[in-house]
Amino acid sequence: MVVDESEAARTQVGEALRQADFLVTALGNAEAALPLWTLFRPHVVLMAVHAPGFASVAVARRLQRLAGGAVPFVYLLDAPDPELRLHVLEKGHGVDALAKPLELRELVARVRGLLRFREGVRRMSRPTEDEVTGLRDRLTGTWSRRAMNAFVQQELLRCERHGGGFGVLGIELQGFRHLRRTFGRTMADRLVLYASTVLLQASREADVVARIADHRFAVLLPSTAEELLPWVRSRLAERFDRARFQVNGRIVRTAVSIGCTAFPEMQGNARRLLTAAFTGMSQPEVVQTPVLS
């Protein structure tokens, strides 16, 4: 569902989503979404926020109560104002906010990521063949530690025969155990699932993402030189700084530590390279401790 009083913006966003094979309901009035909510039952809502009244935020919160917090809201802002963005995310209980003019490819990627998160929640009760054989992580649908070891070993053999190199990232969710103790396993699982969604969304098609422990992920970056890894790590940290999701009315912000290593600068087998990626992790200052509000 796309809600924007600007017909031009509504048409632009709706057309971009339709070209990406989404079914779109476009509305010009936020209040009109209330009586149509149960009829359309949207999976994701894109809600424009206009100054000075920001009335659509109040409507969005009413809709979220109707949905029991199960439908993610992304706010579309008139201006790239950090204070406005923070206001709508925390007061409006949204999962993300994008400033106009919109980068439509990024918007489509965000929507796909949110739908992947919803599907992941459903998939938890339907294990696939790869999950049964241990190649896929049952919670996130990403590759398992066993599969990642095999992928890294295969990349090692390829580079030893044909030259070149590759990188490995290690990502650790901060505050995971505290969150699990305080809010329970289900909330912690949702945090892990959303973190995997952010990783998959921020990764290239050729990259391999795996969950290798409760709160740890690894990313294999084929054909990536060592000098590019700091840039990749910084971009990923920035994406996590923007990431948050809503479960039962609570906003979760995700903090991570990110480490990296590269071949051929680091020699050894797959296990050694994966261990090295988690050694000397740095936590960028822009990333905060997980907070629920």
Q: How is the chain split into domains, by residue range?
A: 2-123, 130-277
pLDDT value of residue 287:
35
pLDDT value of residue 132:
45
Architecture of domain 2-123: 3-Layer(aba) Sandwich (3.40)
**Number of alpha carbons in the 13 Å side-chain half-sphere of residue 199:** 30
Q: How confident is the model at residue 289 (pLDDT cuts 50, 70, 90)?
A: very low
Structure tokens of 289?
Answer: 């401790």
Q: Which neighbouring-strand residues pair with 222?
A: 166
- In terms of DSSP H, where are the helices of the chain? 7-19, 33-40, 55-67, 82-91, 104-123, 129-132, 145-162, 176-183, 185-202, 229-242, 270-277
Answering whether pTM is above 0.75, one says no
Q: Are 210 and 148 in contact (CB under 8 A)?
A: yes
3-state secondary structure of 95: coil
Domain 130-277 CATH class label:
alpha beta
Q: Are 117 and 199 in contact (CB under 8 A)?
A: no
pLDDT value of residue 226:
85
* Same fold: 2-123 with 130-277: no
